[in-house]
Chains A and B, each alone.
Chain A
Amino acid sequence: MKKHLVGKTLLFVFFTIICAIILVPFYAITIGAFKPGKELVRQGLNLSFDLSVMSFDNFAFLFTGDHAYFTWFFNSLLLTVVQVVFTLLVSATVAYGFSAYEFKGKNFLFICVLLIMMVPFEILLLPLYTLTFNLGMMNSYSAIILPGIANAATIFFFRQYLRGIPKEIIAAGRVDGANEYSIYIRLILPIMKPSFAAMAILNGMNSWNNILWPFMVISDAGKYTLPIGLKTLLTPYGNNYDLLIVGSFFSILPILALFLAFQKYFIDGMTAGAVKG
């Protein structure tokens, strides 16, 4: 037993050290949010808890200052909610089509789902950019939402989940005279509810943090999302650290609060892909 106690303590100490290292950047930005931008330009981010330079000035500026931070914040919130709702509904519907029926071309189409996951999105940046330009969709959120609305990873996850639902439910629905669509909407969607949480979190997190594609299609400052807005505070001519650090700090808070409340779903959503089919 004594040997176990030593091992237990060693493990605990080991993970405490690793986790302390992981938390260092969070500590640094939290402290940084209370320091003036000048100080950050001079010192960078560090661990010194120097009350003589720290104040709530940045927070006062964040909430009352003349800047577009909360426009970006609410743009991001709106885009995230709309994107998650549409992506989940469309992807779940597609997944149901794949799991409930046998039809010609099904295997070919499912290989297409896998193909999407096999090609890095970045390769499509330029043709998607010209396509968006030609369709006149520049500067619109639909240019961000539409390409990912039938999300391959989400379809894949829902299809796995639907495998566990007995086919008898569908057959019983047909016997009762329900048509194919009301079987899906009335019988299947309610059963799928638990799987929505994990996918909502995964897609929501990706959407909230997404930068590359939105950055390319959105140039109207009034439509900037939070990551784009924060990025514009960094320019080759000088950086607006007063707002950048406190704004970055504040942008982590909502997602951290959600994580602490719905931890299980975050972990289910993130590890969904690794579950073997």
Chain B
Amino acid sequence: MIKKFLYSQKVAPYVFVLPFIAVFAIFWAYPLASSVEMSFQHTMLGQEAEWIGFDNYTKLMSDGVFLKAVTNSVVYMALTLVILIPLPMLFAVLINNKFMWGREFFKSTFFFPALTSVVVAGTIFRLMFGEMEGSLINSFLGLFGIEPVKFLKGQVTGFVALLALASWRWIGVNMLYFLSGLKSIPDEYYEAASIDGASSFQKFTMITMPLLKPTTVYVVTISIYAGLAMFIESMMLWNGNNSPKNIGLTIVGYLYRQGIEKNDLGYAAAVGIVLLLIAMIINITQLIFTGTFKKED
């Protein structure tokens, strides 16, 4: 009887998707809901929680360190977009050129950095951007007579190191995204444009850019999330969650500091909710602006 029930075509689909329902409920919906709940509480691991209304949020708004973390994360996200959208797109278009020699070799090389873990890549960049005279970047600057720079002690130079790390790891992956987008553009469009006497630049702006839009929107969307949620990169470069004057502190870093290091779970949960709101607002604005919602009909 039970067997017959489980084997029916009406019940089978639920059996198939059951693992997803379970994982979604236990490891996503419940934690998200309890995160919202915790953000209105004063709570510590293994202790009774106490309701405090919006106190965590009002405290956040006047918390200078938190505002510093938000600024860092937003600036980092914006700068990764500035670098990691146009450059990979340009590289993809160039490498896709039919006159290209050694295309496969270059594509593989571009992909290599994505194979390394943040821990390994962070270690390499930490030592390359070391403040010693002999470290890679400083010895390079030395060739031009520039004094050794203490990269990880200054705001701007620290961000240079962070962005170098991000660019190194993701430029190849983003280029591959654009390459797979380029594949879907029919050659006939370019041939027709050539007949009409369009220049290479015109072809790029009139055909390539508009038809790459779905890929671009996808890459922008994931880059916004990745940029706002960055944490381990900073932790590796500064060898821990404490950078001088918090120059490398990110929103997730602050969430970690409050929640894990100080065990102030309620306050940390509020940090997480603010991050979620920032991410949603920026991404929804971006998706409306690029017309992604409209296209569905």
Q: Is the interface of B mostly helix, strand, loop or mixed?
A: helix
Which A residues touch B218, using CB under 8 A? 273-274, 276
Q: Is the CB of B132 within 8 A of A43?
A: yes
Give chain B nearest CB distance to A199 CB in angstroms.
16
Question: B231 to A122, Cβ gap below 8 A?
Answer: yes
Contacts A43-B134, A124-B28, A127-B34; is A271 near B180 (CB within 8 Å)? yes
Verify B272–A125 contact, CB threshold 8 A: yes
Interface residue? A192 (CB, 8 A): no
Nearest B residue (CB) for A147: B27
**A260 neighbours in B (Cβ, 8 Å):** 108
Q: Could you say which of A44, A119, A251, A270 contacts B135, with CB atoms under 8 Å apart? A: A44
How many Å from the CB of B236 to the closest CB on chain A?
8
B181 proximal to A (CB < 8 A) = yes
A90, A119, A127: the one contacting B276 at CB < 8 Å is A119
CA distance A126 to B239 in the complex (A): 22
Instruction: Please name 15 further chain A to chain B contacts, defined as beta carbons within 8 Å, in addition to the given A103-B13, A181-B15, A226-B117, sorted by A numbering.
Output: A25-B121, A25-B168, A44-B135, A97-B14, A101-B13, A113-B20, A118-B280, A120-B229, A122-B272, A123-B229, A124-B272, A125-B259, A126-B269, A127-B35, A267-B107
- Interface membership of A82, Cβ < 8 A: no
Across the interface, name the chain B residue whose C-beta is closest to A266. Answer: B111
4 A-B pairs closest in CB distance: A97-B16, A44-B135, A44-B130, A127-B31
Q: Mark B8-33, 1 if CB is under 8 A from A, else 0.
A: 11101111110111111011101110
B256 at the interface (CB under 8 A from A): yes
Are B24 and A28 touching (Cβ within 8 A)? no
Closest-by-CB residue of B relative to A230 is B119
0/1 interface trace, chain B 212-253, chain A, CB 8 Å (1 if under): 001100110010010011011000100110000000000010
**Is B145 an interface residue when CB atoms closer than 8 A count as contact?**
no
- The tally of CB-CB contacts under 8 A between chains A and B is 279
Asked whether, in the complex, the Cβ of A109 is within 8 Å of the Cβ of B17, the reply is yes
Contact B115 A205 (CB under 8 A): yes
Assembled-state Cα–Cα distance A104/B181 (Å) = 35
Query: CB-nearest residue of chain A relative to B105?
Result: A19
Tell me which of B64-72, B92-100, B154-162, B202-210 binds A: B92-100
Distance (Å) between the CB of A191 and the closest chain B CB? 16
* Interface 9-mer from A54-62, A63-71, A208-216: A208-216
Q: Place the interface of chain A in its size category.
A: 35 or more
Q: Mark the stretch among B52-60, B78-86, B171-179, B189-197 that contacts chain A.
A: B171-179
B232 touches A274 (CB 8 A): no
Residues of B within 8 A of A131 (CB): 26-27, 30-31, 34
Chain B residue numbers with a CB within 8 Å of A236 are: 239-240
Q: Which residue of B lies closest to A180 (CB)?
A: B12
**Is the beta-carbon distance between A130 and B275 smaller than 8 angstroms?**
no
Residues of chain B at the chain A interface (Cβ within 8 Å): 7-10, 12-17, 19-24, 26-28, 30-32, 34-35, 38, 45-46, 91, 94-95, 97, 99-102, 106-121, 123-125, 127-130, 132, 134-136, 138-139, 168, 171-173, 176-177, 179-181, 214-215, 218-219, 222, 225, 228-229, 231-232, 236, 239-240, 252, 255-256, 259-260, 265, 268-269, 272-273, 275-276, 279-280, 283
Residue A18 interfacial (CB < 8 Å): yes
Contact A11–B113 (Cβ < 8 Å): no
Asked if A32 CB lies within 8 Å of chain B CBs, one says yes
C-alpha gap A116/B26 in the complex (Å): 13
Partner of A25, one of B38, B115, B124: B124
Contact A120 B111, CB 8 Å, known A32-B127, A245-B123, A274-B219: no
Question: Complex formed: what's the CA distance from A275 to B215 in Å?
Answer: 8
Query: Are A248 and B124 in contact, CB atoms less than 8 angstroms apart?
Result: yes
Q: Are A120 and B225 within 8 A (Cβ)?
A: yes
Q: Is the CB of B7 within 8 A of A44?
A: no
Nearest-neighbor residue (CB-CB) of B97 within chain A:
A11
Q: B229, A122: Cβ atoms under 8 Å?
A: yes
Residue A263 CB within 8 A of the other chain: yes
Task: Please give me the residue from chain A that is nearest to B279 by CB atom.
Answer: A120
A197: B residues at CB distance < 8 A: none
In angstroms, Cα B255 to Cα A57, docked, is 41
Q: How many angstroms from the CA of A132 to the CA of B142 in the assembled complex?
A: 51
The answer to whether A25 touches B128, judged by C-beta atoms less than 8 angstroms apart, is yes
- Answer yes or no: A167 CB below 8 A from chain B CBs: no
Partner of B91 from the list A18, A29, A97, A101 (CB cut-off 8 Å) is A18
A97 CA / B20 CA spacing, docked (Å): 10
Closest to A8 in B: B99
B-contacting residues, A183-228, CB 8 Å: 184, 205, 208-209, 211-212, 216, 226-227
A211 touches B117 (CB 8 A): yes
Q: With an 8 A cutoff between CB atoms, is A107 at the interface?
A: no
